Chain A
Amino acid sequence: MVSPLSSIYHSYLRIYAITAKEIKQLSRDRITFAMVIMIPLIQLLLFGYAINTDVRAIPVAIVDQSDSAAGRWIVEAVKVTQVVEVKQYLTTAEQAQAAIRRGDIKAALILPPTLTEKLAHNETIGQWIVDGSDTMIAGAIKQLKNLSLNDIVPEQTNSSSRFEVSLFYNPEQRSAVNIVPGLIAVILTMTMVLFTSSAIVRERERGNLELLITTPIKPLELMIGKILPYIVIGLIQMTIILGLGHLIFAVPINGSISHLLLGTLLFITASLTLGLIISTIAQTQLQAMQMTIFILLPTILLSGFITPLEAMPTTAKWIAEALPGTHFMRVIRAIVLKGATLGELYKDMLWLVGFTLVGLWVAAKRFNKRLD
């Protein structure tokens, strides 16, 4: 009695009704609208400058008990690395320890009175005492252990380098190059999941749900209508982050723009469906917010945004692989930094497509057009 064509047309009308309504509501919610722009803008500037994995200017003290020319050379050599910044000159190891405990300095270099003899006999010449609680700082100081003394101390001649390392994709080793694409994954996870996680709950809290479920709208139509406007928002946010990242932090965009857009699109839909699932579980907007953070934190910490996935224990890797953010982190970095194509990244892409389809189905199944 109803032709398939007219039922598709009605379906389209209903999806359009929801989408148009969401856009109107969003455009009247000025703060939310402002946050769409401000979140990527501010966070990009903040994190682009602040997150720096190559550690510099660690405050240290020097305890030079040798008072020798070699001692002064070594101190100069350490300063030149820029890894440390000499804050204090102390006379005993105890003073240095106390300063570390107080937090005035993070490490101290102790050069013994017998420095010159030790140098001559090719022995260990000094000691770094380090506040090891921050592993990143400790790691940076450990690197100083291998400080080459060839250039400083004329008597030393044996060269140590056996390998040559050539760095691809980020030869200057600037953190921003890695952080900016990663930031797209984090910010999109946050805003996309947050937007949709309150989508159904808000209707319930504002009392619109009882009417909505007495209309002929189908759950899947409602879900699709709800996520469509946010796809555009997600793409806008991606453009802001990557555009500014390119302009301000000179992040290269090596891959093709179309692959970049398609990859991001898939991630956005995956995140939006994740939000929708949350929205069908949560009873209040506060609960939806908490669940969003429950997803967001592992995305920040486990997705490879800050620490490489390879360094994690196996179980953590499994959890990380379950998050859409992890897959997108790989995809976006590969496309932006290494110029990879989606074909080469098909595993991650397939996973995102699968996640979206299953997610939409689950959300539509969970959304009950009943009040009990």
Chain B
Amino acid sequence: MTQPIDPQWVIQAHNLTKRFGDFAAVERLNLSVPKGHIYGFLGPNGCGKSTTIRMLTGLLTPSEGDINVMGLSIPKQAEALRQHIGYMTQKFSLYDDLTVKENLQFIGRIYGINADQCKKRIDQLQSTYKLNQYQHQLASTLSGGQRQRLALACACLNQPSLLFLDEPTSAVDPQNRRDFWEQLFDLSEQGTSILVTTHYMDEAERCHKIAIMEKGHIRADDTPKSLMDNINAHVIEITTTDLRQLKQILIAIEHVTSAAQLGHRLRVLVSKNISDPIPWILHQCQQHNRQLKPQDIRLVSANLEDVFVSHTGQPISCQPMQHEGEHHG
């Protein structure tokens, strides 16, 4: 039944492709998620994150490619997989007209957990996820953060060894997001492997490993640190009086990947093909406009946003929106 799989990997996908008509939502994607890791998919809406998760959980049939999740061949053995995974959908998909406790009970029974054990587990989860005081409240009356905790509690109810979280924090304030990540680290420490999608840089940076996704492709994948260390560009910050004009000039030059304004500074990515970028930029400025003299120019270390931009050419907020998530039906 089960295929031989290297025990260090919990998910392996090879050449994974999903087409909706002429549109390829995911194209020739190769993926290996190590066991016990929090693995992040970083990408804008519509880059194929949800489609990939749906294929990995057996909800969508791939147009091409092979998937192996926890030693099971997906989608063929998807039913066997269901007992061992938890899935938190992008949209809240629990029952609005049931209370917190009733939702948990429902999920418990669906997973065939017997009454005593289920009761214990629910009490335990309600206190872990600070839901005790809301247990008799209808899910429709919960705040974004409470709903998200309920959804995570439900996804964890059957003690899955692998969790899929599809943009779990999209409707949550920063404080709740931090708390949520603390809970993920707790789960991870208990040995749960987690695949999470996000378009927040700070969240991606917390993952053990991330894949940068754009237009259905994985552009890069590694630990956030090595991605930042090995960025294929110099990151330069420039302070000057006329940032708008400077930006227009620089962006038109070859070898300048991007130029983004951050308050009084301009953050510029210059290709590694240029060995000494600061004199090079100054020279370029001189050529275009003699009055334009940067007040301050310095090399800085790369952050994850820079990594994302260097791989995709654009910051995450400027990515073209593609339709995703509406393909089922």
Contacts and interface: CB of A to CB of B under 8 A. Distances in A.
B59 A9 contact: no
Contacts of A207: 89, 91-93
Given A20-B106, A24-B98, A25-B98, A213 B112 contact: no
A207 B147 CA distance: 14
A20 B106 CA distance: 8
B292 interface: no
B110 A17 contact: yes
A210 B107 CA distance: 13
A217 B110 contact: yes
A354 B83 CA distance: 34
B283 interface: no
A92 interface: no
B110 A372 contact: no
> How extensive is the interface on chain A, given as a class?
20 to 34
Interface string A209-221: 1111111110000
A17 B79 contact: no
B264 interface: no
Contacts of B112: 9-10, 13-14, 216
A13 B78 CA distance: 21
Given A215-B110, A371-B54, A210 B98 contact: no
Interface string B80-99: 00110101010111111110
A28 interface: yes
With most chain A CB atoms within 10 A of its CB, the pick from B59, B109, B154, B328 is B109
A370 interface: yes
A28 B96 CA distance: 11
Nearest to B18: A372
Interface residues of B, number: 38
A210 B59 contact: yes
Main SS of the interface on chain B? loop
A29 interface: yes
Interface in A207-266: 207-217
Contact of B106 (A17, A283, A369): A17
Contacts of B107: 215
Nearest to A217: B110
B75 interface: yes
A372 B96 contact: no
Contact of B60 (A212, A283, A372): A372
Given A25-B95, A29-B97, A370-B75, A213 B59 contact: yes
A20 B109 contact: yes
A14 B109 contact: yes
B181 interface: no
Given A370-B58, A371-B54, A21 B93 contact: no
A210 B82 CA distance: 13
Interface string A13-31: 1101110110011001100
Nearest to B155: A211
Contacts of A14: 109-110, 112
A214 B110 contact: no
Contact of B102 (A21, A206, A209): A21
A371 B324 CA distance: 13
A278 B135 CA distance: 35
B17 interface: no
B57 interface: yes
B82 A214 contact: yes
B263 interface: no
B171 to A, nearest CB: 13
Given A17-B109, A214-B87, A283 B329 contact: yes
Contacts of B79: 216, 369
Contact of A214 (B57, B75, B108): B57
Nearest to B112: A10
Contacts of A29: 97
B109 A13 contact: yes
A301 B58 CA distance: 45
A66 to B, nearest CB: 75
B61 A214 contact: no
Nearest to A213: B59
Contact of B89 (A20, A28, A211): A211
A14 B112 CA distance: 6
B111 interface: yes
A216 B154 CA distance: 14
Interface string B52-79: 0010011111000000000000010011
Given A16-B109, A216-B82, A372-B61, 15 more contacts: A9-B112, A13-B109, A14-B109, A17-B106, A29-B97, A209-B93, A210-B93, A210-B328, A211-B93, A214-B82, A215-B82, A216-B111, A369-B59, A370-B75, A371-B327
